[in-house]
Amino acid sequence: MSADSDTSSAIKEHTMGLPGYSASTSQDSNITIDNHESSTNNKKAEILLAPLPVQESLRLSKNKLRKKRNYEKILTQRPIKRKREKELRKQKGLNKKSLGKDEKFALTEKLKAALNGTNQVVIDCQFDDKMSDKQRDRLAQQLRRVYASNKASQQPVHLTFSSLPESSEFFQLCCRKNDGFSNYVIDRKEQNVSELFSNDKIVYLSPDSTNVLSEFWPDKVYVIGGIVDESRHKNISLSFSKSIDITTARLPIDEYFVAEKGSGGTFKKVLCVNQVFDIILEWHKTKDWVKAITAGLPERAGFVAKST
Ligand SMILES: C[S@@+](CC[C@H](N)C(=O)[O-])C[C@H]1O[C@@H](n2cnc3c(N)ncnc32)[C@H](O)[C@@H]1O
């Protein structure tokens, strides 16, 4: 093994292989890091953050140095991020401790009522075998966020998770990853979305569609593909929809937003499941596309609303 590869594997071990830390890139947050054993690991993180000896840093390739710097940045920002997330949860009134028995009951009743109503949104879980373990983990996490948003909303939608039999591995994974998953107040269906609704009712949301959404009609069923990908599965929702002849539509991002030059944005218009869901919720609340898309588009995407 060469000195360079020795060094790079040592760095890899130090950064990604710290016991209790796991790191992954994702669509909903550029890089997420799970901290399982914070106090021990904070010490290790401090060691990690110490600058490398000059000779060692010279031996690292630019790419590895960039990765190391990014990782250090994440470690520094993590406490701020955690605090912000906690505040957001507090604002939404979702901190378990802050909810009384009556409030919890009221939230559940609201979700139950939504299940009898229109404004249907389906998360289609049929593609779980197309994803890696890491992507499946992330989808499970996104389903939790979808449910939390619906629960927090003043106007929850009729939420269905389709192609999700109790016997499936993905269902079991969701139960392991998400507290109380099997008791979520949703319609969970074993069947494929095409077996649940007539074709003329379904609008499959796809970033690759040539149709543009103008609004969410209450009598239609809007389907979000349960897919986490970084471009590997381009057109998957569009191809499926075409194969069974159902309508597709994309979000009107281009119609209401422009890429802000020089912002260093990702300019990604393929959003993750919970972001699309938040857009739908916000649209129902405000009937305003700029407000709705702003609620779901991550800031780092670098889009700004077109001036009217
Ligand atoms: C991470 S995306 C998956 C993209 C995947 N390449 C595909 O073919 O659908 C997850 C789902 O969110 C929805 N979605 C994401 N961005 C969208 C957009 N700009 N317009 C409409 N739907 C979108 C779609 O339902 C999509 O299946």
**Do the domain assignments include residue 17?**
yes
**Single residue among 44, 63, 87 that ends a domain in this structure:** 87
- Pick the residue whose CA is nearest to atom 21 on ligand 1: 250
Q: How far apart are alpha carbons 86 and 6 in whole angstroms? A: 40
Mutate to test the pocket of ligand 1, among 29, 237, 275, 277 (most ligand atoms within 8 A of CB): 237
54, 185: one domain: no
Which residues are registered as beta bridge partners of 221?
A: 120, 202
27, 147: one domain: no
129, 260: one domain: yes
**Single residue among 87, 121, 139 that ends a domain in this structure:** 87
- Pick the residue whose CA is nearest to atom 1 on ligand 1: 272
Which residues are registered as beta bridge partners of 258?
A: 304
**Single residue among 87, 120, 141 that ends a domain in this structure:** 87
Domain that holds residue 218: 101-305
Q: How far apart are alpha carbons 267 and 249 in whole angstroms? A: 19
Kindly give the distance from the C-alpha atom of residue 83 to the centroid of ligand 1, in angstroms, as a whole number.
30
Domain count across the chain: 2
110, 78: one domain: no
115, 39: one domain: no
Mutate to test the pocket of ligand 1, among 123, 163, 206 (most ligand atoms within 8 A of CB): 206
Compute and round to an integer the Cα radius of gyration of the chain.
Answer: 21
278, 178: one domain: yes
Q: What is residue 115's three-state secondary structure?
A: coil
Q: How far apart are alpha carbons 193 and 223 in whole angstroms? A: 8
127 close to 241: Cβ distance less than 8 angstroms: no
- pLDDT score recorded for residue 298: 86
**Do the domain assignments include residue 96?**
no
Residue indicated by tokens 């919970």: 274
- pLDDT score recorded for residue 63: 77
**Do the domain assignments include residue 67?**
yes
- Pick the residue whose CA is nearest to atom 15 on ligand 1: 271
The per-residue pLDDT string of the chain (308 residues; one tens digit each, 9 = 90 and over) reads: 444 444 444 444 443 433 333 334 334 333 333 344 444 445 544 545 555 555 555 666 777 887 777 777 777 777 776 777 677 666 655 555 667 888 888 999 999 999 999 999 999 999 999 999 999 999 999 999 999 999 999 999 999 999 999 999 999 999 999 999 999 999 999 999 999 999 999 999 999 999 999 999 999 999 999 999 866 778 999 999 999 999 999 999 999 999 888 878 888 899 999 999 999 999 999 999 999 999 999 888 889 999 86
Kindly give the distance from the C-alpha atom of residue 267 to the centroid of ligand 1, in angstroms, as a whole number.
15
**Do the domain assignments include residue 247?**
yes
Q: Which of 113, 137, 139, 116 is nearest to 126 (CA)?
A: 139
Q: Where are the alpha helices (DSSP H) in the chain?
A: 3-16, 38-49, 54-59, 62-91, 101-114, 133-152, 169-177, 193-196, 236-243, 253-256, 273-286, 289-296
pTM of model > 0.85:
no
Q: Cβ–Cβ contacts within 10 Å for residue 257, how many?
A: 22
199, 274: one domain: yes
68, 115: one domain: no
Q: Which of 122, 222, 125, 112 is nearest to 165 (CA)?
A: 125
66, 142: one domain: no
270, 301: one domain: yes
Mutate to test the pocket of ligand 1, among 138, 202, 205, 233 (most ligand atoms within 8 A of CB): 205
**Do the domain assignments include residue 297?**
yes
Kindly give the distance from the C-alpha atom of residue 79 to the centroid of ligand 1, in angstroms, as a whole number.
31
CATH number, position 257: 3.40.1280.30
Q: E strand or H helix at 221, and its extent?
A: strand 221-225
> Taking CA 254 as the corner, what is the angle to CA 250 and CA 258, rounded to the nearest 5 degrees?
150
110, 220: one domain: yes
Query: CB under 6 Å to ligand 1: residues?
Result: 27, 205-208, 224-225, 227-229, 233-238, 250-251, 253, 269-273, 276
- Pick the residue whose CA is nearest to atom 18 on ligand 1: 207
Helices (H) and strands (E) in the chain, counts: 12, 10
**Do the domain assignments include residue 294?**
yes
**Do the domain assignments include residue 265?**
yes
**Do the domain assignments include residue 95?**
no
Residue indicated by tokens 């901190």: 95
74, 109: one domain: no
